[in-house]
Amino acid sequence: MVVLAAAVRIVREYERVVVFRLGHLRGARGPGLVLIIPLIERTRRVNLQVDTADIPPQDLITKDNVTVRVEAAVFFRVVDPVKAVVQIRDYQHGVLRIAQTTLRTTLGQHDLDDLLANQAAINQLLKQLIDTGTEPWGINVVKVETKDVDLPDAMKRATARQAEAERERRAKVIAAEGEFQAAERLSQAAGVISRERGALTLRTLQTLAEVASEHNSTLVLPIPIEILDSLPANLQNGRALIQGARLEPVGETTEQT
């Protein structure tokens, strides 16, 4: 009974056992019930689930000579349990070490602005480089994520000033664009008014109506005689009468006897 218990291994779906017989590799077995020869065969379990390794904060110098501290995480899984056991003593430690060196080397080739703005592309590049280094061990790198990029205090203040200046520049450009469009529309409106004789009069009357509706006041507006030119023809006679009128002096009259 004891011998039977020692000869039976139950391997889960996400596991594999690598079997060695008298020191010689016999391959990977599982999942399910696995029988081994006691005292002759040895086994080593390998987990095929996605594992994660937190890369400790790394101090590095960017391409534009800025010192930053970067913290990242790498997600990986075993795709070949035999290579993961035979090719490397501790594949988890190996993945962590190669991720650290790749992180320092790769990020040091980028400027600070590129590092902050293109994290997705840099993470993809890190994934490809680390996966190339771990492929001989039967390890597949699923994803690499840079969790934090810590800047020095002086660089944080400089970055904040730069961002503020950029926002002010954009605000001034937008205001200038608005003024230019408004001036262009006003110029077009002035052209329309200059072509139509009654447009200026209508606009004047519209402005008077708006002022009268907003303020409870009396408006006194002198009307030039030229405005009568835009009135209907039956009012032209009134204009002629006004222009032809003469004022005579009024005084006392005496009769001669």
Type of residue numbered 207 = T
Residue-level pLDDT at 247:
41
| Selection from 80, 186, 95, 184 nearest residue 144 by Cα | 95
Question: What does pTM read for this prediction?
Answer: 0.63
Residue-level pLDDT at 237:
54
Residue-level pLDDT at 220:
64
Could you say which residues of the chain have pLDDT below 50? Answer: 241-242, 245-257
Residue-level pLDDT at 225:
57
Share of the chain above pLDDT 90, in %: 40
What superfamily does domain 51-151 belong to in CATH? Answer: Band 7 domain (3.30.479.30)
Residue-level pLDDT at 39:
87
Helix (H, G, I), strand (E, B) or coil at 30: coil
| Residue 84 Cα distances to 17, 37, 43, 51, 89, angstroms | 11, 23, 14, 14, 8
Distance CA 95, CA 135 (A): 10
Residue-level pLDDT at 161:
81
- Contact between 101 and 115 under an 8 Å Cβ cutoff? The reply is no
pLDDT tens column, 138-163: 999 999 998 888 877 776 777 778 77
pLDDT tens column, 186-218: 788 777 777 766 666 777 767 766 766 665 666
Sequence ranges of the domains in the chain = 2-47, 51-151
Which residue do the tokens 């990020």 mark? Answer: 107
Q: Kind and range of the H or E element at 73?
A: strand 67-78
